[in-house]
């Protein structure tokens, strides 16, 4: 039995300034959120899984959360975590190359999100998705020719 606790935070801040006739104007855009994650009040324990590897232009299924056989990550107790509540509540995704997209599929066909990462920028989706599959492939972006790269995906849920 393992216990998972943690935090996911997003911090966005931009400063937009201009000076005209000795008058400086400044606008600051900010969006910040930090959410603590723990077991659900309903009793389902929080789970986390890390998926990593390399991917190319052919789409691969990196995990199917209806089956623990689809991923190899083991928790602190040495067991492959099972999302017994059925819900994935967040996915953070990073890819080293020029571009890769990660698709979240429910019920075999319903696409719930398609997020992209390139050059190690982390994309994160924090919707609730029921027993999804995650599929990954590289994507050509603006002349980048890198067709294979490394990915890291962190998934949390119940």
Residues that bind another protein (CB under 8 A): 1-18, 20, 25-27, 29, 31, 33, 35, 37, 46, 48, 50, 75-78, 90, 92, 94, 99, 101, 111-118, 120-129, 139, 141-142, 152, 154, 156
Compute the least distance from the CB of residue 41 to another protein, in Å. Answer: 15
Q: Whole-number minimum distance, CB 43 to another protein, in Å?
A: 18
Residue 25: strand pairing partners: 18
Chain-centroid distance of CA 147 in Å reads 21
Residue 46 beta carbon to another protein: minimum distance, rounded to whole angstroms? 8
Pick the closest to residue 37 from 75, 8, 71 (CA basis). 8
The minimum distance between CB 111 and another protein, in angstroms, equals 5
Nearest to 151 by CA among 133, 130, 140, 137: 137
**50 near 76, Cβ under 8 Å?**
no
In the complex, the smallest distance separating the C-beta of residue 34 from another protein, rounded to whole angstroms, is 8
Q: What is the rounded distance in angstroms from the CA atom of residue 119 to the CA atom of residue 20?
A: 37
- The Cβ of residue 3 has, within 10 Å, a number of other Cβ atoms equal to 11
């Amino acid at each position: 039995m393992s216990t998972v606790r943690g935090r996911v935070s997003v911090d966005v801040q931009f400063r937009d300034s201009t000076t005209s006739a000795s008058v400086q104007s400044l606008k600051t855009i900010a969006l910040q959120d930090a959410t603590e994650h723990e077991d659900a009040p309903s009793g389902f324990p929080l789970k986390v899984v890390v998926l990593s590897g390399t991917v190319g232009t052919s789409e691969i299924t990196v995990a199917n959360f209806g089956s623990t056989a689809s991923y190899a990550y083991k928790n602190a107790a040495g067991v492959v975590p099972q999302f017994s509540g059925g819900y994935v509540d967040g996915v953070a995704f990073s890819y080293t190359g020029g571009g890769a997209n990660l698709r979240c599929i429910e019920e075999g066909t319903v696409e719930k999100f398609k997020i992209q990462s390139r050059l190690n920028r982390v994309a994160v989706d924090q919707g609730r998705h029921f027993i999804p599959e995650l599929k990954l492939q590289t994507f050509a972006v603006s002349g980048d020719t890198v067709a294979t790269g490394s990915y890291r995906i962190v998934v949390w849920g119940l």
